[in-house]
Structure 1
Amino acid sequence: MKYLAVSLSLLTATLMLGCSPSEKHTEVMPSQDPHSFAVPDNARVTHLKWNATVDFASHTIKATASWQIETKDDADIIIFDTKGLAIDSVTIDNGQRADFRLGNVDTLMGQPLAVLIKPGVKHVHIHYQTAPDAEALQWLSPEQTAGKREPFLFTQSQAILARSWVPCQDSPNVRFTYEADVTVPKQLLPLMSASNPQQKNETGTYHFDMKQPIPAYLLALAVGDIAFKPISARSGVYAEPSVVDTAAWEFADMEKMIAGAEALYGAYPWERYDVIVLPPSFPFGGMENPRLTFATPTLLAGDRSLTSVIAHELAHSWSGNLVTNATWNDFWLNEGSTVYFEHRIMEKLYGVDYSEMLAVLSLQDLKQTIVDLKADNHYADTKLKLNLEGRSPDEGVSDIAYVKGYFFLRSIETEHGRDKFDAFLKDYFKANAFHGVDTDTFIAYIKKYYKDNFSITLDDANFNAWIFTEGLPANCPTPSSDRFTKVDDVLAKWKAGSTVDASITKQWSTHEWLHFIKNLPETLTADQLKALDALGHFTASGNAEILTVWLAVTIRNHYAPADAKLEDFLIHTGRRKFLSPLYTELVKTPEGKKKAQQIYEKARPNYHYVATNTFDKLLK
């Protein structure tokens, strides 16, 4: 599905755009990205000038996307990705009207927008308006925010949702710089994945610049009653005024993380690194928008125990934002290397055992994901290299890309030495900066690097076992943690009937509690659950990581004292990582599914499209 409706052959272009059959047309070859209509080898975007007005009353953005383009000498058409956009008009260069057509609607990919151009055209201006239900845009009422006074808007463009608020070539392998002028209500502050203001002005119009080229999925916008607090000269935190001090305390180690990352793999390439803590409906832990990570408020645990998510999003500044997966079939390249980088940052700041606790927990989750995918007849999705053509890229967002990818890279480090892998990764980022890389290119690069620099021939069988084969290879590294060994001792004694010594658990971190809860027996009595709850105060916990694994236990064992907390958590939390295991556990029984559907009816208005797209199917 690559041409207009879906083929832009000579005949189709002639019929749809009203050209004479005798006129010459470019032979347009299909894009190699199965999730984009664009054909960048023929005509591609290089710079965006975006002029936009945000209207909270209508839940729309009225905008002009002015694209600077590069084309082949004989190119006479350029194709953009759109979804749900109302295109008012299209002009080229100095305002001449251009012929354009929207292709047939594809429920997943939207519509191709084909614009006729003449040789030498350098600019295409698309005047349009977003739909009130645009999939990338989450419009929140004042009641859905922390301050309860002003509305809020945020975007989530990854993976292929940028096209629902900006007509673009929505492929991770197409990069562009951008500038923007955005007008919002004067009492609100807009921020983008670009240079950002730190306080409101009197006009309500703000200018933004992103001088480094990015793919469309990293376009981002947030608008709300937002305050700023610095962490260091090049980093700080944005959040609603009632949240910003808490967030700044929680993320106080951010500058240390940046410095630690630079010491590993080179200078930070994006000038500033700021974080905005969004309202609870944000569907992810974090989103690595350049210069401005979007973060969930569920990270604000009060003990800085969940900041590995910030380390992860920071690591994306190199692995993902700087060197990007060429298509969503290669998503593991972004996430596997980022998880590896994240663990190295956490090790550098907090020690080996801390990092190993994270790795142990990740491996437990990975093994369960493999079991679940096999049971759901999706065992092919346990390969690192995926085939997502005709499917949503979100189906590739699992522990496979993140954790199996991490352990694959760690297996190379383990076998041949960390010093060699560090040298490789640093040079890989440098050599491929601001470019897309697919799986085959990565394999060729790392094999050549190890051969040329270390006279080491990397085994093809190992690449095949990890990347192109289902499941987990036998040479998967086995992380271990002394702190978890002590938790295992406590758990073994508890299973044997001993009472847990609260003076021991009082010293436990979030990760030790997670390890404890995850390894409880499947079946527990009401008395055991009550005693455990008294020990760890899980049902009353404000820590979303702990609460999620505990609530899954209570659902499985019908622990009624946690029911109210479960409903409140599902209604007021939008992070899909936490919602998925709880809804999945609920639907395992008829009475649980009925409860889930009742809760979901109340919760759904608070969720982003990324979440509802998942749970509408699960709870139908």
Structure 2
Amino acid sequence: MRILAAALTFSLSLAGCTATDDAAPDTPEVAPILTSEDAFDDQTFAQPQVARVTHVSLDLELDFDDKSVAGEAVLDIQAQDGADEIVLDNDGYRVASITDGEGKRLRYELGAEEEGKGRPLTVQIGDARQIKVTYSATDADALQWLSPEQTAGGEYPYLFSQGQATLNRTWIPTQDSPGIRQTWDARIVAPAPLDVVMSGLRKGEAEELDNGKRAFEFEMDKPVAPYLIAIAAGDIDFRSLGPRTGVWAEPAVLDRAAEELSDTEALVDAAEELYGPYRWGRYDMIVLPPAFPYGGMENPVMTFLTPTFIAGDKSNNGLIAHELAHSWSGNLVTNAVWGDGWLNEGVTSYFENRIVEAVYGKKRAEQEAALAYANIEETLAEVGEDAPGTALHTDGKGELIGSAIAYDKGAYFLRTVEKIVGRDRFDAWLRQWFDNHAFQPATSAMLLADMEENLVRDEQEAEALMLREWIYEPGLPANVAKPDPKAFAEVDNAVNAYARNDILPTNWEGWTSAERQRFLDNIPKERSDEQLATLNRELGLSETGNNEELFLWLELALANRYEPAVAQAEEFLARIGRAKFVRPLFQVLWDQGEWGRSIARDVYEETRAGYHAVTRGGVDRIVEGE
């Protein structure tokens, strides 16, 4: 009990960064540590209440031949009086030595491995409050090393990282928990002519070294969750999009990427108008090779993007709005534990829709919201209304149920609250939430308490809002604000006409991408070869430049064992590593028995090495389920 009491005192001493209602807080020098039971992160070995990392300084060299990074990490530590050890997370990096600030070697021990968590690295720090870890990391799960053949240019190798949720402990020695926010800086050495970007602001121009290499320096002076430290290196160029926005991409992709992202400055302006100033300086993006496992990753000042969002008509720019919104919900205010991941993704999905409405109009926003609601309904029909994993707050241990809960149910929670209390009151509340918790971790209990204190007017309104039910109970509460039924009225009529008489829509070309996706996702799932051939021929599905639509076509075709689509599916799976597309297509192949499994095995044998660990893990579970 003495340790817990001391830990509470220690954490509260760091929390002197509250805001008034009028002004956003300055960046706290050290972000607070939450000590409530619901803020305990059992996915880290760290004991931040005793000793915690506050700053990470990396000095690393990239070796593309060995697929490794090596160098030093200097960690600044804040600890209780008398604390003589610190526990770091380690999931594969190899430690050569650990010293204090004076160069004196420190004793350390690597503990037993726990599956999915790695091993604790316990360092005897004595009274040292800065340590240097000399180490290397080879084939780290967070890092994907691409051969030149896997890039658009085909001449140079490429590297990118994906640290969420707990993969950064495979290449960075620190305390890898979203509730332990840290500032950081880095010096990265890479072979010329490769360029390096990170999720921090670049300091000056690259330093030309004598050995044909270059050194790049970066700094993030705001405390961030460790999973947000990110790096990419390759043959990339930059294109400015506005006073504080720009995009990096391979030269062969840059023109298309810049055109697709030309609305970015307007998106940032809309976000600020809604919920306050953008506090990270620049908002740049990098369009990565197709092996990137996600649609996007909200790394501060450098959003990582899949090229699969490029459709030529900005129809997938909701993705950009989503990653931008994370600059408030997720990066500014971060879930303290992964069981509260909806605080990042659900709030962001709501915010995304508001940005889309402001920039692209209410019709498009309502249609995208309706697609999200359909996703919730489909998921609940599959897993059951009472499935524990369908509550927003979870214990973080169960299997995640796709995006429908944390993203879409979370968004519909806030959408419902907005409808009941009114948009003006809701917006004022959400803005003060971001202001008063800026650069801090948060929990579901904190958000609930904040709503009850700063939003709810009386007991009658509290009953109407059903806040606790939304956060802690499975399924959808009865008060859910359903989407506008008119959003897809034309499309739903077309679906019914096709289901009854195989009548295809006559204005397909004039539909939005959301309308096309709604049609493809709702037509009958059992189709004959003749019906599929007609569908493809008349609507040009296999020739679309929109990967969201192409995926839905391939999913439908493979589910019906449509041989003419197999070659395109194989090419798609070999070209794209985005888990959202890859896992479902392998699953639908696997569900077709030996016909599909033989295709899946052959394709996966060829493609597995090119997928990121995130994507591989999902497909491995499908294939190994045999």
TM-score normalised by L of structure 2: 0.90
**Residue aligning to 1:54:** 62
Q: Of 501, 508, 514, which residue of structure 1 is paired with 2:517?
A: 514
**Residue aligning to 1:169:** 175
Q: Of 316, 322, 336, which residue of structure 2 is paired with 1:312?
A: 322
Offset of 1:536 from its aligned partner?
Answer: 1.5
Q: Of 210, 216, 233, which residue of structure 1 is paired with 2:243?
A: 233
Any stretches of 5+ residues in structure 1 without a counterpart? 1-27
One-letter amino acid of the counterpart of residue 239, structure 2: K
Offset of 1:494 from its aligned partner?
Answer: 2.9
Map Cα deviations across residues 495-515 of structure 1 (whole Å, 9 max, x no partner): 34264353x222112111101
Determine if contact 1:92/1:124 at 8 Å carries over to the other structure: yes
- Secondary structure of 1:183's aligned partner: strand
Equivalent runs, 1:337-376 vs 2, <5 Å: 337-374=347-384
> What is the alpha-carbon root mean square deviation over aligned residues?
2.1
Write the distance in 2 (CA, Å) between the matches of 1:410 and 1:352: 14
Alignment partner of 1:491 is 2:487: no
Alignment partner of 1:333 is 2:343: yes
Write the distance in 2 (CA, Å) between the matches of 1:546 and 1:328: 31
Determine if contact 2:464/2:479 at 8 Å carries over to the other structure: no
Write the distance in 1 (CA, Å) between the matches of 2:163 and 2:500: 50
Name the stretch that deviates more: 288-297 or 395-404. Answer: 395-404
Equivalent runs, 1:518-537 vs 2, <5 Å: 518-537=521-540
Q: Of 599, 611, 617, which residue of structure 1 is paired with 2:603?
A: 599
Give the direction of change, closer, same or farther, for the CA distance of 1:522–1:397 in structure 2 (3 Å limit).
closer
Write the distance in 1 (CA, Å) between the matches of 2:465 and 2:201: 45
Q: Of 147, 153, 167, which residue of structure 2 is paired with 1:147?
A: 153
**Residue aligning to 1:69:** 77
Write the distance in 2 (CA, Å) between the matches of 1:95 and 1:486: 71
Offset of 1:196 from its aligned partner?
Answer: 2.9
Write the distance in 2 (CA, Å) between the matches of 1:273 and 1:75: 39
Determine if contact 1:52/1:64 at 8 Å carries over to the other structure: yes
Map Cα deviations across residues 212-235 of structure 1 (whole Å, 9 max, x no partner): 110110010001011000000100
Map Cα deviations across residues 530-576 of structure 1 (whole Å, 9 max, x no partner): 11111221122231100111111111222221111111111111111
Alignment partner of 1:188 is 2:191: no
- Secondary structure of 1:101's aligned partner: strand
Give the direction of change, closer, same or farther, for the CA distance of 1:456–1:254 in structure 2 (3 Å limit).
farther
Offset of 1:470 from its aligned partner?
Answer: 1.7
Give the direction of change, closer, same or farther, for the CA distance of 1:569–1:252 in structure 2 (3 Å limit).
same
One-letter amino acid of the counterpart of residue 342, structure 1: E
Alignment partner of 1:563 is 2:573: no
Write the distance in 2 (CA, Å) between the matches of 1:142 and 1:59: 13
Write the distance in 1 (CA, Å) between the matches of 2:96 and 2:384: 47
**Residue aligning to 1:437:** 442
Write the distance in 2 (CA, Å) between the matches of 1:292 and 1:501: 41
Offset of 1:167 from its aligned partner?
Answer: 0.7
Any stretches of 5+ residues in structure 2 without a counterpart? 1-34
- Secondary structure of 1:243's aligned partner: helix
**Residue aligning to 1:14:** none
Offset of 1:197 from its aligned partner?
Answer: 7.0
One-letter amino acid of the counterpart of residue 575, structure 1: R
**Residue aligning to 2:586:** 583
One-letter amino acid of the counterpart of residue 409, structure 2: K
Write the distance in 1 (CA, Å) between the matches of 2:426 and 2:243: 31
Write the distance in 1 (CA, Å) between the matches of 2:296 and 2:204: 21
Write the distance in 1 (CA, Å) between the matches of 2:460 and 2:57: 47
Percent of paired sites with the same residue: 40
Map Cα deviations across residues 423-472 of structure 1 (whole Å, 9 max, x no partner): 010000000001000111111111111247x8975239823322222222
- Secondary structure of 1:458's aligned partner: helix
Offset of 1:370 from its aligned partner?
Answer: 2.2
Across the two proteins, how many residue pairs are aligned to each other? Answer: 585
Write the distance in 2 (CA, Å) between the matches of 1:370 and 1:491: 22
One-letter amino acid of the counterpart of residue 140, structure 1: L
Name the stretch that deviates more: 83-92 or 573-582. Answer: 573-582
Give the direction of change, closer, same or farther, for the CA distance of 1:79–1:456 in structure 2 (3 Å limit).
farther
**Residue aligning to 1:125:** 132
Write the distance in 2 (CA, Å) between the matches of 1:29 and 1:327: 11
One-letter amino acid of the counterpart of residue 433, structure 2: Y
- Secondary structure of 2:247's aligned partner: strand
Equivalent runs, 1:467-506 vs 2, <5 Å: 467-480=471-484, 482=486, 484-497=488-501, 499-500=503-504, 502=506, 504-506=507-509
Q: Of 467, 485, 491, which residue of structure 2 is paired with 1:463?
A: 467
Offset of 1:477 from its aligned partner?
Answer: 1.5
Offset of 1:39 from its aligned partner?
Answer: 0.5
Determine if contact 1:87/1:129 at 8 Å carries over to the other structure: yes
Write the distance in 2 (CA, Å) between the matches of 1:587 and 1:373: 20
Write the distance in 2 (CA, Å) between the matches of 1:589 and 1:127: 50
Name the stretch that deviates more: 458-467 or 474-483. Answer: 458-467
Write the distance in 1 (CA, Å) between the matches of 2:261 and 2:70: 35
**Residue aligning to 1:9:** none
